[in-house]
Amino acid sequence: MTTDQLFIIISVIVFLIVGHFFKKRRTTSIKEFTIHEGKLNWFPIAAGISMTFAGGAAILNMTSLGFTFKWYTLVDPIALVLGMLIVISLFNKYRDDKGVTISNLLSGNYKNLNILIGVITSFVFILIVSAQFVALSKLVSPYFQNIDPLIITLVLSTAIFSYVFLGGFTSVTKTDILQLIFIGLFLILPVLIFILTTDFSAAKVSESEHQFLSMPINYIILFSIPILFIPLSQDINIRVKSAKNMRNGKLGLSIGAAIYFSIVLVATYIGIYLAENGVVLDDPETAYTIFFQTKFTNVGFLGIIAALAAIVSSLDSYTLNGITSVSNDILTEIPFLKRTQHTTIINIAGIIVYIISLGIALFFNEILVLVLTALLVYISVLFPIAFAKKLKMKSNLIFLSSLLIILFIIFVEILKVEIEPKAVIYPTVGLSIMSIFYIYHRVNK
């Protein structure tokens, strides 16, 4: 066994130990599984926010996108910061709501709308979990070339899934802190040392050898999605409600956004450095791994551990979100499960999320496609719903409008209708449908 393999295995074991050791021993309700109401100070909130969003996209994808598009990647963290400012301005709105999920926050007491939003959010969370399964495989497989990537994905995903399944929010919170430490020590610190100790006076490759591209407007719009996604995020919802008070909550959100920005900055720099120094890559998504293998020859595993921590951080958070949404918004509304204990419902939800996520990961092997698809669906349906709630539109009309929005998206995707940019057109169509129903209601009233 090589040193790299040994340290990767040790890291996974450490995550498992922390996740299982700090798990909540007795969970009697879905709310207890998901939220620690009024108990967290600013640091675990900051760690949780930064680590949830700094997954495979922020590490592997931002490095590869930096290799291709240079600093255009910063559109994403800038959008996230703006989204966080919206959250901070609406802080009390989240605190005053007593629901567990975003579905509860947006649907009020209307059951049909609650189920519909629950289906949408569950689908999105499952897609993001699938993306992290793929990221795990792509990151670790090069170090275990004699083992089938499918087996690697199965073993790692099952290991991480287990402590979320058994420990809930308690385990996720504790591992977030550990993952933040790993990323600080094994990603940010090594890259800073590299920058400070490298002689950059040597000539870089000429412009003709590597030509950075301008990021397509559609990508720019897609990477701006966090402006809308963050205020509607389940992770924001549970962490605001888990904060001890307003000061700890707002401070944690602000520092978490700053940490995320720093991680994306470092990841992007890695890709840019490789491009400017003549490295040729068949697959830009390998840029991160290539950098640590070539620039930290003896300790390249450090970067891999950092990326592993980032991927696991998103995986466990969105696994928690998926289990919560499926159990709270869907399963509890099924008549024959009404009297079932919440612990049993959580177990059923966990099995559903795991099986579907793993299946999607095996069929769709592209991290970026899965993540962007998830975010696009999320904002295309939930943003118009939030807009309608702001107008105090009746819940049954919001429900009917949402169904039309979903049918429109399905129709476009199945028929492969070319409409771009979808990140603008889908939400715009959604807002238009909501507005038509609202005007119709007002006129008839």
364-417 confidence digits (pLDDT tens): 777 767 777 887 888 888 889 988 888 888 888 888 999 999 999 888 888 878
Within 10 Å of residue 257's Cβ, how many Cβ atoms?
25
Q: What is the number of residues in the chain?
A: 445
- Report how far residue 74's alpha carbon sits from residue 70's, in angstroms, rounded to the nearest whole number: 9
pLDDT of residue 74: 93
- Report how far residue 223's alpha carbon sits from residue 317's, in angstroms, rounded to the nearest whole number: 21
Span 139-195, pLDDT tens digits: 777 778 888 878 887 888 888 788 787 777 777 888 888 888 989 998 899 999 888
Flag whether 387 is in a domain: no
Exposure letters 38-59 (e unless 16+ CB within 10 A, then b): eebebbbbbbbbbbbbbbbbbb
Residue with tokens 């956004």: 257
pLDDT of residue 258: 95
- Report how far residue 358's alpha carbon sits from residue 130's, in angstroms, rounded to the nearest whole number: 6
Q: Residues near 169 by Cβ (< 8 Å), separated by ≥ 6?
A: 24, 33, 34, 35, 36, 238, 242, 320
**Mean pLDDT in the chain?**
84
Flag whether 440 is in a domain: no
pLDDT of residue 27: 67
Q: Which of 60, 65, 68, 64 is nearest to 210 (CA)?
A: 68
Residue pair 131/371 in contact by the 8 Å Cβ criterion: yes
Q: How many angstroms from the chain centroid is the CA of residue 210?
A: 31
Please indicate whether residue 443 or residue 368 has the higher confidence score (pLDDT). 443
Q: How many angstroms from the chain centroid is the CA of residue 256?
A: 14
Residue with tokens 């620690």: 36
Min mean pLDDT across 17-21, 225-229, 357-361, 439-443 is at: 17-21
Structure tokens at 273: 């450095």
pLDDT of residue 59: 79
- pLDDT beyond 70 at 426: yes
Express as a percent the part of the chain with pLDDT over 70.
Answer: 94
pLDDT of residue 200: 67
User: Which structural domain range is residue 113 located in?
Assistant: 3-378
Q: Residues near 18 by Cβ (< 8 Å), separated by ≥ 6?
A: 171, 174, 175, 178
Flag whether 198 is in a domain: yes
Flag whether 432 is in a domain: no
Structure tokens at 196: 């400070």
Flag whether 414 is in a domain: no
Q: What number is the average pLDDT over the span 14-21? A: 78
Residue pair 271/282 in contact by the 8 Å Cβ criterion: no
User: Which residues of 279-387 form beta strands (DSSP E)?
Assistant: none
Q: What number is the average pLDDT over the span 311-333? A: 87
> Which CATH number covers residue 60?
1.20.1730.10
Euclidean distance between the first and the last CA atom of the chain, given in angstroms as a whole number:
74
Flag whether 22 is in a domain: yes
Span 197-226, pLDDT tens digits: 887 665 555 444 667 888 888 888 888 888
pLDDT of residue 208: 44
pLDDT of residue 242: 92
Flag whether 282 is in a domain: yes
Flag whether 426 is in a domain: no
Min mean pLDDT across 124-128, 138-142, 187-191, 244-248 is at: 138-142
Exposure letters 427-441 (e unless 16+ CB within 10 A, then b): bebbbebbbebbeee
Q: Which of 382, 386, 367, 373 is nearest to 423 (CA)?
A: 373
How many domains in the chain?
A: 1
Q: At what angle do helices 301-325 and 149-183 cross, to 10 degrees?
A: 100
- Report how far residue 249's alpha carbon sits from residue 25's, in angstroms, rounded to the nearest whole number: 26
Q: Residues near 375 by Cβ (< 8 Å), separated by ≥ 6?
A: 124, 222, 225, 226, 229
